[in-house]
Amino acid sequence: MSVKIAPSILAADFANLQREVEMLNASDADYIHVDIMDGVFVPNISFGFPVTEAINRHAQKPLDVHLMIINPDKYLEEFKKAGAEIISVHFEACVHLHRTLQHIKSLGCKAGVAINPHTPIEHLENILEEVDLVCLMSVNPGFGGQKFIPNTFSKIKRLSKMIADKGLNTLIEVDGGVNQSNAPLLVEAGANVLVAGNFVFSSDNPITTIKNLKNIQ
C-alpha cells in the first residue's frame, strides 16, 4: 500500500480557501487534514464548524478532522454534519475513550485517536481494536511549522508491532514537522499516512510537493 498524504489545511491561505481546496483536489492528496483547536486543550484557536463545512463544500477528498479540543463528544455530530469522514480525538482529552470511539463510529465516521509526543503508545494497548487510525503527534499540538520530534520513530515501530501482533490494519498517521527528508524514514518505520502542512503549502509548487511525498516507497 502506498503512503497516504493528508495536507494540513491549517497552513493554507485562509483568504483563498476555495482555491487551496481546489488545488488539493487536483493533487495526489488522499485526505484533507482539518485541525480544530479550542484554545483550551491546545494554546491556539483555529476554526470550527462553518469553516469545516466551507472546506467540505469544495473538497473532493475525504476530510480527516483532528479535534484538539476538550469534551469532543459534545461536538461529534456537528463535525459529522460539517463533512468529517475521519474524526480523531485526543487520548489525553477523553476520560471515556471507548465510549467516544463508539460514538464516532455510530455516526458512520472512521474513528481516530491522536496522542501527544510524550504519551506512550502502550496506553492504546487495550483500545486498539476499536481504532481505525492512530495519529502520532510528532510536534506538540497547537501550531503548524514546528520542528519534528525524533522519538516518533520508535513510537511508530512499537505501534506497528502492536498492530501486527493483534492482526489489525489500523492506520498509523504522523502529524507535525513532516518533510521530504524525514518522510522516507517515517514510511520505512511503518507510517502509512503523512500529514504535512507548511512543507506543502509553503513550497513553490504544492502539487509537485504532494506528488513527491506520495511517491515515497
> Closest separation between CB of residue 129 and ligand 5SP, Å?
25
Residue choice 62, 83, 197, 206 for contact with ligand 5SP (CB under 6 A): 197
Which residue's CB is nearer to ligand 5SP, number 3 or number 139?
139
User: Cβ-count burial of 50 within 10 angstroms (0-12 exposed, 13-18 middle, 19+ buried)?
Assistant: exposed
Catalytic residue chosen out of the listed positions 30, 73, 175, 204: 175
Q: Is 142 in the site for ligand 5SP (CB under 6 A)?
A: yes
Contact 78, 72 (CB under 8 A): no
Selected range binding ligand 5SP among 55-63, 143-151, 165-173, 184-192, rule: CB under 6 A: 143-151
CB within 8 A of 153, min separation 6: which ones? Answer: 185, 186, 189
Catalytic residue chosen out of the listed positions 35, 38, 64, 132: 35
Least Cα distance to 151 among 186, 187, 179 occurs for 186
Q: What is the dihedral of CA 200, 178, 67, 110, to 10 degrees?
A: 90
Residue choice 94, 136, 139, 186 for contact with ligand 5SP (CB under 6 A): 139
Site for ligand 5SP in 24-63 (CB under 6 A): 33, 35
> Is 73 known to be catalytic?
no
> Is 175 known to be catalytic?
yes
64 φ, ψ (degrees, to nearest 5): -105, 100
Least Cα distance to 23 among 51, 56, 58 occurs for 58
Interacting residues toward ligand 5SP by CB under 6 A: 8, 10-11, 33, 35, 66, 139, 141-146, 175-178, 195-199
